[in-house]
Structure formats: structure tokens, C-alpha cells
A and B are shown apart, each in its own frame.
Chain A
């Protein structure tokens, strides 16, 4: 069975600082990996995805993530955050070729302070 661990439940940072949100997954098969963002009282919006190919994936709003198969990680990074990046971030994994249902981590609450 697949599982996702988001190592930090809360990450406070100052505006314009860099940030890394950590995600590790467990799976016995190949995977698709995703990062979603949820703003307060909103649905989930896809930030970026890894399906195959280049292990460095660029997404919206200046975010990027790197797939590391040997460390089973998919950490999310942004070099300089804004107040508007304050939100909850979810890492998710799915199994190619199956139902492709998403298995989510518990989420990381990113708070950007002025």
C-alpha cells in the first residue's frame, strides 16, 4: 500500500525567505507524485506534478519540486515566498495504471509572516 509522510505539520517563515516543504512516500511500485495547495475555505489546486521524465518539476507560482527515487522523496521548494503563499500544502501519490486515486499526506501549514 502507498503512503505519504509530510514531515512538518507547520512551517513558519518570513516573507522573501526560501522555503522547503518535505514529503516522503512509500510504494512498492512506480508512482505519480503531486503537490496541491489549499487556501482557506477553498478547494485543492494543483501546484505541480511528476509523472515521468525530468526529476526537477516546475509548477505554478514559482514552486518547484525534485523527485528523488533513491530517497523516495518529493520535496517542494520556493526561493522567495510571499504573504499570499500562506496556505496548506498537500503531497500526494498515485499508482500509474491503476485507479490512480490519490493518497495524501497530512498536510503542511505554511505561514508567511511580514
Chain B
């Protein structure tokens, strides 16, 4: 158990819909990262938050957004979903620079 909790574990939704994925980082970790894992693109960095503020952005679509709340949990919002958004979405957290990131179990999103 990495200490990073993601909910829900599985999500099935229709095209055009909007979903929210939730991540609780390890206690004390200020940094939260979101990654997408798909068969064709592999593991790709989406976005990072540090202590409530956006720190880095990767290949995140405009239909996707994220935020980190004062209690440090984070949410990834995916809207106007398309079939190609079906993937495993991982959250990771780290305590500080120069330390490793710990990953959650992921949320498997299926868009039908």
C-alpha cells in the first residue's frame, strides 16, 4: 500500500459526459501528479500541483482540468468525454524535490 488513495477504482460512462477522479496523497506530501496510461500513448504526465498551486503542465487536453484543495487532495475533471479518453489514470504524490513519487492504484475509465 503506497498510501495514495484514488477513487473510484473503475468508472464507466458515455461519450459527452463529465467525470471527476479523486486523489488523496500520502500524509504530508505536498506534490500531486496526474498521469494517463493508455495502450497507444503509454504513461504520460498530465499535470502537477504543489501545495494548492499548479506547478507543471504536460499533454493535458483543454477538456481536462485539475485542482488541489487546501487539505491537499486533488481532483481531475474530464469533460466532453470521447472514446479515446478511455485509459488508466494515476495519481502520484511526493513530499519534496529530490524524493520519489508514490503512485495510487489508479482509476480505470471506460468511455462507451
Please report the C-alpha to C-alpha distance between residue A32 and residue B96 in the assembled complex, in whole angstroms: 14
Known: A45-B2, A51-B98, A104-B42. A99 touches B104 (CB 8 A): no
Query: Are B90 and A44 interface neighbours, CB within 8 A?
Result: yes
Instruction: State the main secondary structure of chain B at its contact with A.
Output: strand
Interface size in chain B (residues, C-beta < 8 A) = 25
Chain A proximity of B44: nearest CB distance (Å): 8
Please report the C-alpha to C-alpha distance between residue A58 and residue B83 in the assembled complex, in whole angstroms: 41
The chain A residues found within 8 Å of chain B, CB to CB, are 32, 34, 36, 42-46, 49, 51, 90, 92, 96-107
11 sampled A-B residue pairs with Cβ under 8 A: A42-B105, A45-B103, A51-B98, A99-B48, A100-B101, A101-B33, A101-B45, A101-B56, A102-B35, A102-B92, A103-B45
The chain B residues found within 8 Å of chain A, CB to CB, are 2, 4, 31, 33, 35, 42-45, 48, 55-56, 58, 90, 92, 94, 97-98, 100-106
